[in-house]
Structure 1
Amino acid sequence: MKIDVELEDLWDAVACQKESSLSWERCETFMDIVIVLDGSNSIYPWYEVQDFLINILQKFYIGPGQTQVGVIQYGSTVVHEFSLGEYQTVEEVVEAARNIDQRGGEETRTALGINVARSEAFKRGGRPGAQKVMIVITDGESHDSPQLQQAVPDSKEDNITMYAIAVLGYYNRRGINPEAFLKEIKFIASDPDDKHFFKVTDESALKDIVDALGERIFSLEGTSSQGRGFGLQMAQAGFSSHLVKDGILLGAVGAYNWNGAVLKETKHGKDGILLGAVGAYNWNGAVLKETKHGKVVPPKSSYKDEFPEELMNHGAYLGYSVGSLISSRGSQLYVAGAPRFNHTGKVIVFTLKNTGNLTILEALLGEQIGSYFGSELLSMDINGDGHTDVLLVAAPMFYSEGWEKGKVYIYTVTPQTSFILQGALEFSDRSQNSRLGSALAQIPDMNGDGFRELVVGAPLEDDHQGAVYVFYGQDKTIQHQYRQRLSAAGFNAGLQYFGQSLHGVLDVNGDGLVDLAVGALGAAVIIWEEQQGGGSTTSSPPSPCSTPCSTPSFSSSSSSSGVWYSLALDERRFPPRAVLDELDRQQRRSLVLQTGGGPSCQRLGFSIQETTDYGRPIAVVLETGQQNLDEGPVLDPDWPSVLRTELPFWNGCEQEDTCVPDLVLHGHTDLTDVQSFCSSKDRDTWSLCGHQRASEEDSVYVVETGRRRVVVSARLENQGENAYGANIHISTSSNLLFSSLIVKVKSPSYSPSLKAIPHTEIRSFRAGTLAPPVSGIHHCLQDAHRHKEMKTRTKLNQTKVINLSLDQNESQMNRRHPVKAE
């Protein structure tokens, strides 16, 4: 209540100070207005006149120290409907106007109405020094026209400004020439006629002149006898406010033709409030300051560089939002938003001395027309070192992809107190109106990392139900991805525009944590804050027992917090190669974490099943969660709730993940080579033997006519480390049929265990021999060349190839080239 009184006193002093001084003049809305209303029988329909009366009354600044309104109705006689000062607010005056009935009358005695208004109405509640304004509304020539020659000059001699409105409905309905009537009405109106005379075609057209009449009366209100435009008359000091170290900062958006201004009031060094006054200087706005020696208003020239005269008609609304920041040098700077500047918006950073010297240090410009850049400002000391880290500037009406989504710009404050655009908070995946940034608030650290957090309102989301978003601070900036969304739709309370205002300073429920107040349409919501707990979750590596552990890291009034966890082994294989000793391997288990205590662990046993797959490790998955989501600390979303790791088998090699084998493949066949074949005396004359002697090849194999099978022997030897998954591939030509495979020598098998070597490996310094016979040899080969290929492969992709090519020589014999190893 103390603050309200101080602001009211400040407004009275700024806007409507009665004492004249060099710096301050009387509020120029200090006016007495009497409306002289024709209620004769020719006025029809009456409700049109009544609607006009209500609409024009709503244009006036009615209140103590400002405008007073009285109404008289005349026809044949005059009636005082209500007097000046009888009603003190716009609402009261409008309600009184709704109850005015048409009095009627056979005559229209306009001169009588003017005389009564001049001599009586301005004395009933009239104030000395108030500007006098009379508005005459009539639909025909007066029956006491001669008396107008005296009544009108007398009124003007009393310094009454006369507005006259001619309603031509009666004349148009009857086809009467209104020339004489219009001449009479122009005589009533003050000069010049184009500023004070109005005419409408009928009663229903009165609504069309409401704005024009209001603007002309405003022009009278905002113009002094010297002809100045608006200065601080419409300042609206207090439109925005902000606490600063040495006083009160006020926004005055209506100052200087609605370009706006900023005011400051100090209380001998005590903390105060920073307020905006949007109406100063014709709604351009301004900045004002009050000290113990009086109020200090920076001159209009202080803004001319950033708010040039040619843009005055845009109504920048400087002071729509105000704030302050602390530079790295410890000096206090002020910021103020002008969201309508040049239609795109502007934010200025400035200093303000008690002498009235305002110096603009930097200006930040908006990028989109109509986005209202600068309508909300927030400076944040994220890491708590006493210096401002970022300045947040909201553009809640930023338009994107056909929706009014909103945007919050993040400016980093450098050590040189310059502002670098770091990015923006915005949603590109939302197809709805949002107005993100309609409200901004800083709240204390929630997740225990020591950095303050940001709350942003989006009151148009979910079909105007609204939502708020929580963004975490990190180092000296804000994380761009929101961490929590609170939607009014989830409260089932019928809220609208939830998030249009925010406040996060007070601990309402006394739990030691700051709570968040969120404003909505006609309602406010208090949201309790819960401390967020972080912790490390681990699982011990390979042994017959796994030990899940969790180490809490939080500060809370609660001494403990319960969590659940589940452990799964080889979850994607069936059957799994490892199982927990308990039957239900997916069963959730509980673990209690003590505040400030060490790790909390539980040992779980498991067994390895008989398997031939020792090459791939066993997958281990540990999932955790909070038991009670409504009480105590909450889990930190930065910490993973699912831990995935692997349990490998021992490979028996020097390196844990690599084995280097040295495979040697030997191969031979039971066929007779040509040299041995031709050594017989009865064969040396054969053409085959003659061909062999002429050949440069060392050895050729011979297949005789009666032979039905060929045996190829292979011997695979590993002279290096273990070779896992080694295998031999045997391929034959299409005219040979594979008969069988005989394993003559093999490595001894081992029982599988955690350190076992499976029988599928080829151990070092072991050899194996394979003798696969091949049957079904045809006498006549279809192709000139045939080959038999043997390969061995390991996981290291080492391959040795032996080709035994067969050549057709005669119809009853085949010649075979020597074995070649690749």
Structure 2
Amino acid sequence: MSISVLCWSLYTVVLLNFSRKCLTFNIGTQDAIVYHGKNGSYFGYKVQTYGDSNPPRIIVVDPLTSDPTRVGSGAIYNCDPKVKTCAPVYIPASPVLKINGIGLSMATSPKNMSSELLVCAPGLTYTCGSNTYVNGICYLLDNMLNTLTNMTAAFEGCPPAQLDVAFLIDGSGSIEPDDFRKMQEFMLKFISQLKEKGVMFAVVQFSEDIRTEFSFEGFRSSSDYSHLVRGIEQMGHMTYTSSGIKFVADKVFTPQAGSNPESKKLMIIITDGVSNDEHVTIPEALKAADDKGIIRYAIGVGAVFKDPEAKKGLEIIASKPFEDFVFEVNSYDALKEIEDSLKDKIFAIEGGSNSLNTSSFQRELAQTGISSLYTKDSIFLGSVGSYDWAGEVVEIRNNEETTIRPSIVQPNAYFGYTLAGVYHEEGFRLAVGAPRHDHKGAVFIQERVLKEWRTRQIIKGEQIGSYCGFELCSLDLDDDGFTDLILIGCPCYTSDDRGGTVLVCSLSPQLTALGSRLTPGAPSFTSFDHPRPREKMGKED
């Protein structure tokens, strides 16, 4: 088959998902076997021939269908051309986890190996506190479609609670005693919600003086934390906020006071007024906190923070960006309105980055298995949601995981969205699609050097928003075991009269991809390094 015919075959397969009839010049339709899915389903999202039988089985997936016997979505079907029917393939359900998107990616073992089918569901969802995380699970099936094992590469479970939280509360005379009690009840409820997760607490009160009400060690050793909180007596007098911040950094977040040096450190400042500190400046206090990596939330209570200068003072003492770390409420009664939001943000910090001024996630939204590739040595799985959607690829080789994530990959690049194997006389290379890299999309050619993966080449998209790398196809035209062409789909590329394009890349002897563009209207060839398929195989018709 010539490359032009193959390209048109690919378009035909796509069209079959949306149209009952499709006129083609190179695919017989007279005696076609048609397999039907449920109405409104995505039956046929991916199709794969599989197995040693003659004719081989046809594996069809429907990643969005619901199954009453399991929680989640997705189904795999074994369609037998001999009996012209499809039967569902059993995939073990999880008793506790929700698995969505079974079959969003599939891969088969190489020809010279025993037949194995890899089926992935990149929607393995679970909750940690009130946060929902999304990883992935893949199933390895044998020649009889029995499940051999499953794998959860790059799985990020609920993080262990290694978080020390210090409340720094305003005890100045401007706070009414009844409002001070409401602040105590707010702290008490907040502590009760997080204590069972192993979070440690301390409370410091500030006015003209600074007083530790109880330390982390005191909290750890107490059998009744409610007594510790309700036993706090209001000090009165002035508002020395910066002295309080520096005191907490210097005296409370210490091993002597029971703070774990390995824990993330969080300070929650509650105040009803502007600091009038005469002893410690704001820059001095913030430096002390920053030096210890203390993340700071600032809660301003009352109408005083409607004033721009007062609000600015609140923003200065919080971590950045202040939009994520500053809360304003009208009264102490309204503290309960921010409980859930503050708790969610703390969960994000607890399970995410160690960075001082961020609460971003690492692998908690990885969606591992959105793409997959099975080679003689390794299984590769794409994880597009890792590290702020920069993405990564996980190689599983001899039961060990290796991460592939070039430093040049930008946030939101979707590195790992697609995968393809590139086989060359020099050895194996991995093509990785990143359709949002640099806003145009790109394909990274990765090379393994000893145990480390390095970027050999980057094939970049040409147009903003073109999504190049959304689809990859590696072709061996002459069946010699080596890759001749790499097709790169850019579905959002636009020109005057059409949308979408395919970059056709051949490999030079130096393993450099040289490209031309294939548009849906007129498949054509330009200067390839290899002989044209037409010259080698004769007329296509």
TM-score (norm 2): 0.39
Which protein is bigger by CA-based radius of gyration?
1
Of Structure 1 and Structure 2, the greater helix share is in: 2
TM-score (norm 1): 0.27
